[in-house]
Amino acid sequence: MTFRHLEAFVQVAEQGGFTRAADRLCLTQPTVSGQIKELEQQLGVSLFHRLPRVVELTEAGRLLLPRAAELLASREGLLEWAAAYRGLLWGRLIVHASTIPGEYFLPPLLAAFKGEHPELGISLSIHDSEAVLEQVRRGEAALGVVGKQVANDGLVFRPLWRDHIALYAGVGGAVPRRIDVGDLRQVPLVLREEGSGTRRAVEGAMQPLGISLDACAVVAEFGSTTAVKQAVAAGLGAGFLSDVSVAAELASGVLRRVEVAGFAAVPRRFFAVWDPERAPSPAAARFRETLLAAAGEP
């Protein structure tokens, strides 16, 4: 029995299938299946019910899972101790971020950090801001970067970069170059999904003007900024987009900014967030320092 057998077992149990576990482990599905079969042969028990569309733990599998997870955690602790003794960061740094920081701000920082710590694995998981915050609350993410700050949540928020959100349309679209704020209700809008920090910022800016997105002509909602940009460029409608996210499209002439009289660009701030009750890994703690320094925060 090896740690690879236990890693495969824990991932199949957590992911609910061999294919998803293989993706998580960067292995092929037959390799993972083979490791599970070898583990079952060595233990002399079946660990999974292999049903047509789902994989379920047997009673033996349910009993083994916490023991296997404990053994893997002990191994990680020993390796981190040895790496710290050598002055290196070892293991895997997992950062969870909302779309704009995840797609535009963090990749160059993570690339530089990887260059300084070559033995460290890097993972960047991108979700909407609310999903990232929930992962931090549950302890699934030691460090998050989001586009909103929540008061009295028990989490620590530290300000990072500034950005603005404005209305953009495709160059060849029918949306005028300048409209009045009252015309927003008639403009076909392409929006981010509910829970997105971009959408929440726009909703907050519209509220004092007596305008609700529910009363607007929303023609589509998408789960990523890239999808919104592509739909807007194709002429589906106008979209509220981050300035930093459209820099390339403005330079290439694919998108244009729509001036909205009476509605200024919406300022926003991104934040690093973590749970002060949970100790971060050495890699997460070091990258948090790097992140705050890069954004000009102590």
- CATH number, residue 148: 3.40.190.10
Residue 291 CB: number of other CB atoms within 10 A?
Answer: 22
In this prediction, residue 54 carries a pLDDT of 81
Assess contact for 17 and 55: CB atoms under 8 A.
yes
pLDDT of amino acid 19: 87
Residues 275 and 140 grouped into a single domain: yes
Confidence at residue 132, expressed as pLDDT on a 0 to 100 scale = 93
Tell me what pLDDT residue 251 has: 92
Give the chain's domain count: 3
Contact of 212 with 162, CB cutoff 8 Å: no
Instruction: Among 38, 61, 85, give the residue marking a domain's end.
Output: 85
* Same-domain pairing of 78 and 207: no
174 shares its domain with 128: no
Measured between alpha carbons, how far is residue 192 from residues 221, 239, 293 in Å? 5, 9, 30
The pLDDT of residue 140 is 86
pLDDT at residue number 133: 93
Q: Can you give the pLDDT at residue 298?
A: 41
What is the reported pLDDT for 246? 93
| pLDDT recorded at residue 88 | 60
List, for the chain, all residue ranges whose pLDDT scores fall below the cut of 50: 298
Q: Which domain holds residue 258?
A: 162-267
pLDDT at 66: 92
